[in-house]
Structure 1
Amino acid sequence: MQSTIFVSANKMERNGRIIDVRYDLTNEQFGKQLYKEGHIEGAIYWDLNDDLSDMTRDEGRHPLPSKEQLQQLFEQNGLYVNDAIYIYDQGASPFATRAWWILHYAGFNHAYVVNGGFEAMKGAGFSISKEVPIFAPTMLNLQWNDEILLKRSDMVRLINGESKTTILDARANARYRGEIEPLDAIAGHIPTAKNYDWEQLREGKDLVITSSLLAKVKKDEDIVVYCGSGVTATPVYSILKQAGYEKVKIYMAGYSDWVKHETVEQSENL
C-alpha cells in the first residue's frame, strides 16, 4: 500500500499529472475562477461539487459519486492507474485530500497531495498557464478498495459493539459537543465517537503529522473517521495513513447523513 501521501513541491516528478482542486465551501465559484485566472501548467480542474461529489444523491451534503461516475471522470481526463498524480489546493485545505482519497479508493497508488498547494508549486518554479489541457481518454480496469469506505449501516453495527473500533469525529470541538451546529438539524456527534478537529493538522500551508493525533489513536486500533459531509475527514484519514496507520476507514456520508436517521450523543468521549 502507498506510504508517502504528502510531498513538497520541490520533490515532485516534473512529468507527473497534475490536478487543481482549489475550492471554498462558502463560495462555489472560488476554485473555478482561480483556475481560469491561472493554474499550474498542465493541470486539469476537479470541482468539489461537480466532480468529487454527486449532489443529486441523498447521502450527506457531499455524497460520493458512484464508481461508474468516478471511472468516467478518470477516463475522460486521460488518467492511468500507474501515473504519478499530484493534487494541489490552496494549501492546508481538505480538498486535495478529498481528491486523493477518491483516487486511493479507486486503486491509484501513485497519487500525492502537494503540501503548500498552488503557491508552493509556483515558488518551486512550476509554470503558470490559463490554457485548459486536453488528454486522450483512457480505458481503466480499476481495483477498488471497498474495505476503506463505510456506510451508515456499518456504523450502526460498530456502535452496537459488533467490533472494537475507535470512531473519530474530525469537526470542530464545539460542534462535536453539540454546543453549536450551523449546518445540520440536530447538534452533537455519533455515539461513542471521540473528537479530533482536523484543523489541528494545519501548520502554515501544510498538513502535518501531529503528536496530539498520534496520542489520540494507536496503530493497532481499527479507526473510522467522519466529519460533516466527507470533506474535512479526509485530512485526518490521509495524515494517519502517512503516519503508517493501516487500519483506517472513512464514513464518507458523515454526520449530515447520520443525523437524519439515527440518534446522536453530546457527552464528550476522551
Structure 2
Amino acid sequence: MSFTTLLSCDELAEHLNDQNWRVFDCRHQLSDVAYGEKSYAEGHLPGAFFLHLDRDLSGPMNGRNGRHPLPDAVLLANKLGASGVSRETQVVVYDDGDGMIAGRLWWLLRWFGHDRVALLDGGIRQWVKAGRPLTTDLPEPAATVFAVDMNLRDWVVRTEDVLANLDRNELCLVDARDPDRFRGENETLDPVGGHIPGARNRFFRDNLDAEGCFRLPAELRREFLGLLAGVEPAQAVMQCGSGVTACHNLLAMEIAGLQGAKLYAGSWSEWCADPARPVAC
C-alpha cells in the first residue's frame, strides 16, 4: 500500500522501521533560517533526515524570481538519493508548521513523478502529543539513485502566463496567504503589499481543524468547489508569497479529489518584483 496524500502518526509508527521508507523533517521559520536545523538537532522523529527550505527545497534567488525559486531537479534528486530514496521508496514529510513547509517537499516529489509521498497529518506536534518518541540520533543512509525524468510534470505556471491571463481570464488564481496580506495590509515579507488582479483568497490554514490536522475530504471539496465557482480544477493555479504555502492548497485539493491544479512558483514575491505589473488590494 502506498500513501500519496496524508498518513497518521499510528500509520507511520507501524512502518517506521521499514527499509524502504524515508522520513524527512522540513521544519523552518522565515524569521530564523537556522531554526529548523537547531530543532532537528534537539529532537526529531526516529530515522528522519533533515532538508532545509532555502538550501535544499529552493534554488538561488536573483532578485526577479521570488523568495523561494524552485530547486534544480537534479541537485534535489541527488540529495534524496543520498538519503536512500529511490523510485520505490515511500517518503513521509513533516514539520511543526501545520504542513506549511513539508507540503513543499510533498509537491516537489510529485512534480518529479514520485507519487509515493505523504505528509504526516498534524506533524511532529501530533507525534509528540500521542506519546511517540523523538531522538537526537542521526540516521545512517544507504545511498541509492533517485532517477528524475527531466520531462517534469507540466504543473508549473510562469509569470508570463499569469500576466497573459489578465486579458484572457482562462486561469483561476488562488492565493494562499492570510487575508490581511492578500488585502495589502501588514505586509512584512515583500516590498509591495496587495495581490495579483483577479486572484481569489484561500488562506492555507483554513484547510486545517483545531488540532492542526487536515479537515475531512468532503469539507475541503465543498469549499474549494465554492471558491472555484464553476472553474475546472485543471484551470486553477495556486500561489502565495513565494510558492511554498501554495503547495498546502494543492495538497488539500488532492485530498478533496480535485486533481490537476498547477503552481505559480514565483508567486507574489516574483510578481511584485517588477513595478510594471499591476497590483490589486
TM-score normalised by the chain length of structure 2: 0.86
1:73 equivalenced with 2:79 (yes/no): yes
CA offset at residue 122 of structure 1?
Answer: 3.8
CA offset at residue 113 of structure 1?
Answer: 0.2
Give SS of 1:102's match.
helix
The residue aligned with 1:212 is 223
The match for 2:34 among 17, 22, 29 is: 29
CA offset at residue 183 of structure 1?
Answer: 2.3
The residue aligned with 1:89 is 95
Q: Is the 8 A contact 1:57 1:63 kept in 2?
A: no
Cα–Cα, structure 1 residues 79 and 4, in superposed 2: closer, same or farther, change >3 Å? closer
CA offset at residue 257 of structure 1?
Answer: 0.4
The match for 1:43 among 44, 48, 51 is: 48
1:107 equivalenced with 2:118 (yes/no): no
The match for 2:163 among 153, 156, 162 is: 156
Q: Distance in 2 between matches of 1:135 and 1:20?
A: 15
Q: Distance in 2 between matches of 1:182 and 1:125?
A: 37
Give SS of 2:41's match.
helix
Identity among equivalent pairs (%): 28
The residue aligned with 2:67 is 61
CA offset at residue 57 of structure 1?
Answer: 4.2
1:191 equivalenced with 2:197 (yes/no): yes
The residue aligned with 2:263 is 250
The aligned amino acid for 1:220 is: E
Q: Is the 8 A contact 1:3 1:244 kept in 2?
A: no
Query: Gaps (5+ residues) in structure 1?
Result: none
Cα–Cα, structure 1 residues 125 and 80, in superposed 2: closer, same or farther, change >3 Å? farther
The match for 1:224 among 237, 249, 265 is: 237
Q: Report which stretch shifted further, 61-70 or 214-223.
A: 214-223
The residue aligned with 1:11 is 11
Q: Report which stretch shifted further, 53-62 or 100-109.
A: 53-62
Q: Is the 8 A contact 1:91 1:115 kept in 2?
A: no
Q: Is the 8 A contact 1:219 1:247 kept in 2?
A: no
Count of aligned residue pairs for this structure pair: 265
Q: Is the 8 A contact 1:170 1:226 kept in 2?
A: yes
Q: Distance in 1 between matches of 2:142 and 2:194?
A: 47
Query: Gaps (5+ residues) in structure 2?
Result: none
Kindly provide the CA deviation profile for residues 174-219 of structure 1, in whole angstroms up to 9, marking residues without a partner as x: 2222234222222211121111111212222213353433421257
